[in-house]
Chain A
């Protein structure tokens, strides 16, 4: 590679020339869509406006980054590549880390109440409950993608089935939330088998695209079957979880009145937080057990090499269907919890970008790693939620600047960057589920997945 050899010696002239090329390319890239803006004038015709300062800022930033990379970062990276040896054995978490995190999650809403006072609802709901639901979704998809190695781009379908099970059965048959929660999981698992059956023969990219199609079909049916689902308008007023039959409202039969407490709107999110927390803990235990069962080991074998797996007498059909079903089960539970949180569901909540978001959590966290997926859920969901809180940016960039608008933009960009930087996710270790004497984790880059 002549490129790298030259970059090792900081050659200013060469760097300048490359920077100029970059600037030229960036100019061409951004000229049509950044340099010009199409706006409607009073007569509803499209006209062009120019944004030269913005265009030149973009070009300057890209050129500057390229120059810095060539002069500063590239020689450093080349130096490190020369001195670095094999990937060291991965760092393991200290033994107190997981209990500490669980302890923190347990007291988190109380801390939020202590610090934020009455404004804590936002922190418990948007951050706490939402992140925990995504942890659940991430773990569910992790069974399918991370453990069994089946790339599912339509996972949100099971989330939708769980949520709509809750919504429709709750609305039409007056079932309580506690009846609906297991039903949502079971029905979603059933659908997991139904949709898993036709795709047993597929894998890799084809499987991904077919599952994407399934997810889209379910969403389109939810939009168009207006008699049942109320279409894009969605269904509201869904049953909320009750505390042994006591609803969380200000009525004399409510939770607060019966227990002799002062009514507070925080009770409901607090209660829901602990329900979701319990679901997450249970899920972690169940998944931990599943991995040690024959079916869990079959999943991991399936991920590494399907042909070898079949020749060893593992029933790949059953293993795949079990993966789809258990993944879908947790998706359905998460969907039910979502309706309990929102009290409202519409097809808007189950579009493809939601599937991509969950997949990103699994991949960036490290496929197959329970801890990694949880970390990724906190970082990605917490990070994008934080963007909503950056109101101070409005003072810098003007009133019409809305940081939430950049949420998905940054998210897509981060997905590309992180997969390039750490293709195996934050936690890329493979730890054997069964050991003879010594537990020995290896870096995942040393594992070569067989195609199949």
Chain B
């Protein structure tokens, strides 16, 4: 029982990270109908940016308070990752708008290969690990095995919840969100009604990257290690989460992320840790085949 609760807590933490990445997938897919294949790698790049910023602050400038350092790292990583994703959209996707339907996906696959190999060449192929921080934990359940929650985990849950609410309000309540939903439905019509389509899409990519950067920074603080090829598998799992929750739905993305995270950790604990990725990929296939509209999504009506 204790182990189950502990794994549930770990699963929710991992799931929050997937959820944050999944929001990026769901928003981009919603607006331009494309699987942003490079999004997982953007997440990995953001993790590296956070790593560099953290080392800069702690070893060069020597900031005493780790909490303050982390906040600065988070902001820096969000800004620079947004810049990266903005540039990616400009270079790799915008020229292909209006091209045949597979072109952006193929460009995104090329971008994904480019990003992971760029980081490999620029920062080396090894694991980059940092010393653990915030190791304090709260014991929630005493028994044969103490169930603990670390402050980091609580911070991740809170950050995910706050960001989800903030961006959900942004999409449903502001004029930017209205513009996004308009582009989602019909780009040409939105443009005719005075929506700057290119700008709206760019902002969507920037938001997606900022959320991925939060996920990347949190990933680095929790697991303390990052590698150039860490983007692919979390990226695919986050995409699974986005589809599971219902593509286009922000709460759905987080819900899907939590489900995937919990299933993955429980599977690793009770079934087989070697096959945990197989479980995730199987969920992906099953969901896409049998529940393509997801839990919170609307069924896609086919228009001829």
In the bound complex, how far is the Cα of B107 from the Cα of A415, in angstroms? 6
Q: Which single member of A32, A46, A205, A213 contacts B128 (CB below 8 Å)?
A: A46
> Considering the complex, which residues of chain B in the window 285-304 have a beta carbon less than 8 Å from any beta carbon of chain A?
285, 288-289, 292, 302, 304
In the bound complex, how far is the Cα of B113 from the Cα of A419, in angstroms? 14
For the complex, is B106 an interface residue (Cβ under 8 Å from A)? yes
In the bound complex, how far is the Cα of B277 from the Cα of A46, in angstroms? 29
If A33-B45, A420-B95, A420-B96 touch, whether A208 touches B110 (CB-CB below 8 Å) is: no
A69 to chain B, nearest CB (A): 13
Q: Which single member of A36, A204, A216, A359 contacts B56 (CB below 8 Å)?
A: A36
For the complex, is A423 an interface residue (Cβ under 8 Å from B)? yes
List chain A residues, Cβ under 8 A from B239. Answer: 209
For the complex, is B75 an interface residue (Cβ under 8 Å from A)? no
For the complex, is B275 an interface residue (Cβ under 8 Å from A)? yes
List chain B residues, Cβ under 8 A from A343. Answer: none
For the complex, is B35 an interface residue (Cβ under 8 Å from A)? yes
Are A29 and B83 in contact, with the CB atoms below 8 A? yes
If A352-B232, A363-B106 touch, whether A48 touches B60 (CB-CB below 8 Å) is: yes
> Considering the complex, which residues of chain B in the window 221-247 have a beta carbon less than 8 Å from any beta carbon of chain A?
232, 236, 239, 243
For the complex, is A212 an interface residue (Cβ under 8 Å from B)? yes
List chain A residues, Cβ under 8 A from B95. Answer: 420
List chain B residues, Cβ under 8 A from A212. Answer: 236
> Considering the complex, which residues of chain A in the window 198-226 have a beta carbon less than 8 Å from any beta carbon of chain B?
198-199, 201-202, 204-206, 208-210, 212-214, 216-217, 220-221, 224
List chain B residues, Cβ under 8 A from A270. Answer: none
If A29-B87, A202-B289, A419-B103 touch, whether A46 touches B55 (CB-CB below 8 Å) is: yes
Q: Which single member of A39, A153, A414, A423 contacts B96 (CB below 8 Å)?
A: A423
If A47-B59, A408-B113, A412-B111 touch, whether A208 touches B123 (CB-CB below 8 Å) is: no
In the bound complex, how far is the Cα of B57 from the Cα of A61, in angstroms? 29
Are B304 and A208 in contact, with the CB atoms below 8 A? no
List chain A residues, Cβ under 8 A from B56. Answer: 36, 48
Are B275 and A224 in contact, with the CB atoms below 8 A? yes
Interface string of A149-180 (1 = CB under 8 A from B): 00101000000000000000000000000000
Are B106 and A419 in contact, with the CB atoms below 8 A? yes
For the complex, is B176 an interface residue (Cβ under 8 Å from A)? no
For the complex, is A413 an interface residue (Cβ under 8 Å from B)? yes
A6 to chain B, nearest CB (A): 17
In the bound complex, how far is the Cα of B276 from the Cα of A285, in angstroms? 43
Q: Which residue of chain B lies nearest to A231 when distances are taken between CB atoms in the complex?
A: B274
Are B277 and A220 in contact, with the CB atoms below 8 A? yes
Are A38 and B106 in contact, with the CB atoms below 8 A? no
Are A38 and B128 in contact, with the CB atoms below 8 A? yes
B81 to chain A, nearest CB (A): 9
List chain A residues, Cβ under 8 A from B92. Answer: 416, 420
List chain A residues, Cβ under 8 A from B114. Answer: 409, 412-413, 415-416
Interface string of B62-89 (1 = CB under 8 A from A): 0000000000000000001001100100
In the bound complex, how far is the Cα of B235 from the Cα of A352, in angstroms? 13
For the complex, is A353 an interface residue (Cβ under 8 Å from B)? yes
For the complex, is A34 an interface residue (Cβ under 8 Å from B)? yes
B88 to chain A, nearest CB (A): 9
Are A32 and B52 in contact, with the CB atoms below 8 A? yes
List chain A residues, Cβ under 8 A from B80. Answer: 28-29, 31-32
If A28-B83, A37-B123, A406-B121 touch, whether A413 touches B304 (CB-CB below 8 Å) is: no
List chain B residues, Cβ under 8 A from A452. Answer: 302, 304
Are A202 and B107 in contact, with the CB atoms below 8 A? no
Q: Which residue of chain B lies nearest to A452 when distances are taken between CB atoms in the complex?
A: B302
Are B105 and A216 in contact, with the CB atoms below 8 A? no
List chain A residues, Cβ under 8 A from B275. Answer: 220, 224
In the bound complex, how far is the Cα of B116 from the Cα of A356, in angstroms? 14
In the bound complex, how far is the Cα of B59 from the Cα of A360, in angstroms? 43
For the complex, is A95 an interface residue (Cβ under 8 Å from B)? no
In the bound complex, how far is the Cα of B272 from the Cα of A5, in angstroms? 61
In the bound complex, how far is the Cα of B53 from the Cα of A29, in angstroms? 14
Q: Which single member of B101, B117, B292 contacts A409 (CB below 8 Å)?
A: B117
**Taking each of B83, B117, B284, which has the highest tally of chain A beta carbons within 10 Å of its own beta carbon?**
B117
In the bound complex, how far is the Cα of B95 from the Cα of A48, in angstroms? 37
Are A38 and B55 in contact, with the CB atoms below 8 A? yes
Q: Which residue of chain A lies nearest to B90 when distances are taken between CB atoms in the complex?
A: A25
For the complex, is A430 an interface residue (Cβ under 8 Å from B)? no
B241 to chain A, nearest CB (A): 12
B293 to chain A, nearest CB (A): 11
List chain A residues, Cβ under 8 A from B113. Answer: 353, 356, 408, 411-412, 415
List chain B residues, Cβ under 8 A from A359. Answer: 106, 109
For the complex, is A449 an interface residue (Cβ under 8 Å from B)? yes
Are B278 and A220 in contact, with the CB atoms below 8 A? yes
List chain B residues, Cβ under 8 A from A37. Answer: 122-124
List chain A residues, Cβ under 8 A from B302. Answer: 307, 452
List chain B residues, Cβ under 8 A from A420. Answer: 92, 95-96, 107
Are A201 and B236 in contact, with the CB atoms below 8 A? no
A300 to chain B, nearest CB (A): 15
A and B contact pairs by CB, cutoff 8 A, 14 listed: A29-B83, A31-B80, A32-B80, A33-B48, A33-B52, A33-B118, A48-B55, A198-B285, A201-B289, A213-B282, A356-B110, A360-B110, A423-B100, A449-B101
The 10 closest A-B pairs by CB, nearest first: A415-B110, A412-B114, A412-B113, A409-B117, A213-B281, A416-B110, A408-B117, A224-B274, A205-B35, A423-B99
Supplied contacts A213-B236, A415-B114, 14 more A-B pairs, CB within 8 Å: A29-B83, A38-B128, A46-B130, A48-B59, A209-B236, A216-B281, A412-B110, A412-B117, A415-B113, A416-B92, A420-B95, A423-B99, A451-B101, A452-B304
